[in-house]
Chains A and B, each alone.
Chain A
Amino acid sequence: MTTQTTQEPPQLFEAREPVFPQRVSGWYRRLKWWLMAFTLSIYYITPWLRWDRGENLPDQAVLIDLAHARFFFFWIQIWPHEFYFVAGLLIMAGLGLFLFTSALGRVWCGYACPQTVWTDLFILVERWVEGDRNKRIRLLRDKWSFRKARLRVTKWTIWLLLSIATGGAWVFYFADAPTLLRDLVIGQAAMAAYITIAVLTGATFMFGGFLREQVCTYMCPWPRIQAAMMDEHSLTVAYRDWRGEPRGKMGKAEGDCIDCMACVTVCPQGIDIRDGQQVECITCALCIDACDNMMEKIGRPRGLIDYCALSDEVLERAGNEPKTVWSHILRLRNFIYFGLWGLIGVGLVVALFIRSDFSVSVKPDRNPRFVTLSDGTIRNAYDLKLSNQTGEDRVFHISIKTSDPLRLDLEGTDELSVIVPADGRLHQRAYIFAKPEHSASTSDKSPVRFWIEDRNDGARIYVDSVFAGDER
């Protein structure tokens, strides 16, 4: 066979084999409907939730304010210098994926991945407009007619509306949702918002309506990466080869598989699970439902296609009992992933509670390191950056602690306190003076501790710096 095909002129492309997933009902299908409703609700509703933070801060519960470099998440507010929280969450998301993949195989792909969820939604629309598998296959073969055009246009219109809603919801995370919606409608929103919506609408329309399983098979790197997280003990959707084979018509073959093709017709990836583990399989578990329904009809035990680990398949084939589901989940590899995941999680929570709601950075002027004044006093200049992360203006008192009684002075004010605006930053230049009789004036480096105190609530933090003297 191979020798023959090499004689033919090579193909430039491989045409997509159209996939027409059949409707199926069952436990996993119901679970997937609930998960779809849940994940889509989170996505569409979240930007509309409100959270009162006072008059100086936005009242949107979840807001990524790129213009002002702020991230709001309910009671948590993150500034750029606290980006490690976001980094930590991303690492947790990664480790969480590792954990789930190691324990339950590609559950992310099968249940929660946006590509899967939206494709499922688009197929639902397709089935609703054009009918189930056989009708859709016939419609594809039919010549163009008014009916075919009407069905296609209806389907595409609904897809497009869903896509616009998807792209539209995305931008609401980045600006005040009600204001942005009004601006979008009256044509006053920023160009970036319209372009983002257009791009995401197009992508959703193409990915959910036409590319579908090709995104998983050709574009997504995750199927390749997660091979490293899985081993023979990971649960995955598999066909019990030892039970099903040899397959054949009911009563004519020894195996339980009656070759009804139900598992193949429901597959959104267009594969045959009976061929074994394949990179295309997203473990959506719809073939389990399809097969279980059929087994029930012919009076055979369920589970010819089932969640099982490859090591169990070997055990069962030899006539032994498979391990329990929990023994696949509670094993060292998963404990390590969970431990790392939990460690970072606890670390982030602790960091969240001990962080201060104001912060200061002190940068000593190093060009020049010091200035000699006419009476021989040595002066150092410092750039102080004070951030007030609360919703109210705050007064901070600044003082220094040094071994010599050095004098502190703030540029542009006679006092030693500054007002930092709500949700804002203040840049303040400060001077420290060492008289000639102070040892700091002649030693290269002396330690200085800046104390910044909010005298209203007693909160205070310090920053260590140095005083540079003229070491002659």
Chain B
Amino acid sequence: MRKKIKKSDEDYPTTGHEWDGIREYDKPMPRWWLYTFYLCIIFAFGYMVAYPAIPLLKGATPGLLGFSTRAEVAKHIAEVNAQNAEIEAQLLSTPLEEISADADLVRFATAGGGAVFRTYCAQCHGAGAQGAKGYPNLQDDDWLWGGDLATIETTIQHGIRYEADEDTRFSEMPKFGDFLEKDEIAALAEYVLQVSGQEHDAALATIGQPLFEDNCVACHTEQATGDRELGAPNLADAIWLYGRERETITTTITNSRFGVMPAWQGRITEAQIKQVTFYVHQLGGGE
């Protein structure tokens, strides 16, 4: 009489597996599940035809839709460039000094400049622009050639002692090891230590002073404060590009130093130069 609504569990076979008296039913899957499985198989074939799938010797089969992740990336980059085209044009037409008045331009220049800096400049100047021995710290307030926007831009455009660029900045300190005796150089070093307010041998410094006046003041000036026109460093301040120690100063006087920075004009775009100029200026040392 009574119609069974559902199969009871006893109607199902078991797999024959048994663990500690627990047997495993061999129940079939629900139909929708099976059909989902079939659909997945059909989808997989469709996907294989439509998208890159089968690896061959020179890359995979391209697929009917012609999808490629590289093309996607190129498309996204083109989109971003198109989005930025307007503000980039605005940046190019705005004088450097007026960028800081426009919040959008400041954001664009700082973010873009930061990216340029980390890509091209960080190798020598460090990720935080803190510099290293022989590579100037761009965060401090000491500038060899000047720290205003225009000067920074010129430096980036033409580089330092970069002979391939005609307009590069060039300063050349003679190798005093060729003209002066060792004890003269030692005396000169003591005098440099004296003007920069460090521990020194006063007697030797007195001997060094006339030597400094004869050989060095032309560029470094009488107060040893340097000359930005010539790129001559300030010797009286607390910042030393190669080091403040007696040995380092002696080496510099004897052999001179010729750090080189490449010119970036032509290697990165005008907009990028402007961005990175603004970025470096706002790091804390800009004038």
B130 touches A1 (CB 8 A): no
Would you call B127 an interface residue if the criterion is a C-beta within 8 Å of the partner chain's C-beta atoms? yes
A214 touches B32 (CB 8 A): yes
Chain A 358-390, CB-CB to B under 8 Å as 1, else 0, gives: 000000011110011111100101000000000
B31 touches A13 (CB 8 A): yes
Would you call A97 an interface residue if the criterion is a C-beta within 8 Å of the partner chain's C-beta atoms? no
B14 touches A375 (CB 8 A): no
B140 touches A365 (CB 8 A): no
A367 touches B6 (CB 8 A): no
Please tell me which stretch of B154-162, B200-208, B234-242 contacts chain A, meaning at least 4 of its Cβ atoms lie within 8 angstroms of it.
B234-242
Would you call A174 an interface residue if the criterion is a C-beta within 8 Å of the partner chain's C-beta atoms? no
A215 to chain B, nearest CB (A): 10
Would you call B210 an interface residue if the criterion is a C-beta within 8 Å of the partner chain's C-beta atoms? no
Q: With contacts A259-B2, A372-B239 known, is A2 near B10, CB below 8 A?
A: yes
B30 touches A218 (CB 8 A): yes
Would you call B84 an interface residue if the criterion is a C-beta within 8 Å of the partner chain's C-beta atoms? no
Q: With contacts A14-B31, A16-B30, A368-B130 known, is A2 near B282, CB below 8 A?
A: no
B28 touches A271 (CB 8 A): no
B32 touches A368 (CB 8 A): no
| A:1-27 near B, CB below 8 Å | 1-2, 5-6, 10-17
A1 touches B237 (CB 8 A): no
Q: With contacts A271-B6, A272-B5, A367-B128 known, is A14 near B28, CB below 8 A?
A: yes
B34 touches A372 (CB 8 A): no
Closest-by-CB residue of B relative to A381 is B284
Measured between beta carbons, the chain A residues less than 8 angstroms from B237 are: 374-375
A264 to B285, CA, bound (A): 83
Find B6's partner among A2, A17, A411, A429 (CB 8 Å cutoff).
A17
B31 touches A374 (CB 8 A): no
A270 touches B239 (CB 8 A): no
A205 to chain B, nearest CB (A): 14
B282 touches A412 (CB 8 A): yes
Measured between beta carbons, the chain A residues less than 8 angstroms from B11 are: 1, 5
Find A270's partner among B6, B126, B130, B234 (CB 8 Å cutoff).
B6
A373 touches B142 (CB 8 A): yes
Chain B 99-142, CB-CB to A under 8 Å as 1, else 0, gives: 01000001000000000000000000011101000000101111
A218 to B12, CA, bound (A): 17
A431 to B115, CA, bound (A): 22
Q: What number of A residues sit within 8 Å (CB to CB) of B?
A: 38
* B28, B137, B284, most chain A CB atoms within 10 A: B284
B29 touches A374 (CB 8 A): no
A131 to B128, CA, bound (A): 76
A365 touches B6 (CB 8 A): no
B33 touches A13 (CB 8 A): yes
A375 to B33, CA, bound (A): 77
A402 to chain B, nearest CB (A): 19
A118 to B10, CA, bound (A): 33
Chain A 424-457, CB-CB to B under 8 Å as 1, else 0, gives: 0000010100000000000000000000000000
Would you call B13 an interface residue if the criterion is a C-beta within 8 Å of the partner chain's C-beta atoms? yes
A98 to B100, CA, bound (A): 58
A373 to B31, CA, bound (A): 77
Would you call B75 an interface residue if the criterion is a C-beta within 8 Å of the partner chain's C-beta atoms? no
Chain B 22-56, CB-CB to A under 8 Å as 1, else 0, gives: 00001111111111000000000000000000000
Q: With contacts A272-B5, A367-B128 known, is A374 near B33, CB below 8 A?
A: no
A379 to B190, CA, bound (A): 29
Q: With contacts A272-B5, A367-B127, A411-B284 known, is A374 near B140, CB below 8 A?
A: yes
B33 touches A368 (CB 8 A): no
Find A17's partner among B5, B8, B10, B27 (CB 8 Å cutoff).
B5
Would you call A193 an interface residue if the criterion is a C-beta within 8 Å of the partner chain's C-beta atoms? no
A366 to B126, CA, bound (A): 12
B128 touches A14 (CB 8 A): no
Q: With contacts A271-B6, A381-B284 known, is A374 near B100, CB below 8 A?
A: no
B12 touches A368 (CB 8 A): no
A259 to B5, CA, bound (A): 13
Chain A 210-248, CB-CB to B under 8 Å as 1, else 0, gives: 010010001000000000000000000000000000000
B149 to chain A, nearest CB (A): 14
Q: List 26 A-B contacts (CB under 8 A).
A: A2-B13, A6-B13, A10-B13, A12-B34, A13-B34, A16-B30, A16-B31, A17-B5, A17-B6, A214-B30, A214-B32, A271-B5, A367-B128, A368-B126, A368-B128, A368-B130, A368-B139, A371-B130, A371-B139, A371-B140, A373-B239, A374-B141, A374-B237, A374-B239, A375-B237, A379-B139
Nearest first, the 3 closest Cβ-Cβ pairs linking A and B are A367-B128, A368-B130, A374-B237
| Other contacts beyond A6-B13, A211-B32, A371-B139: 4, CB < 8 A | A14-B30, A264-B5, A368-B137, A374-B141
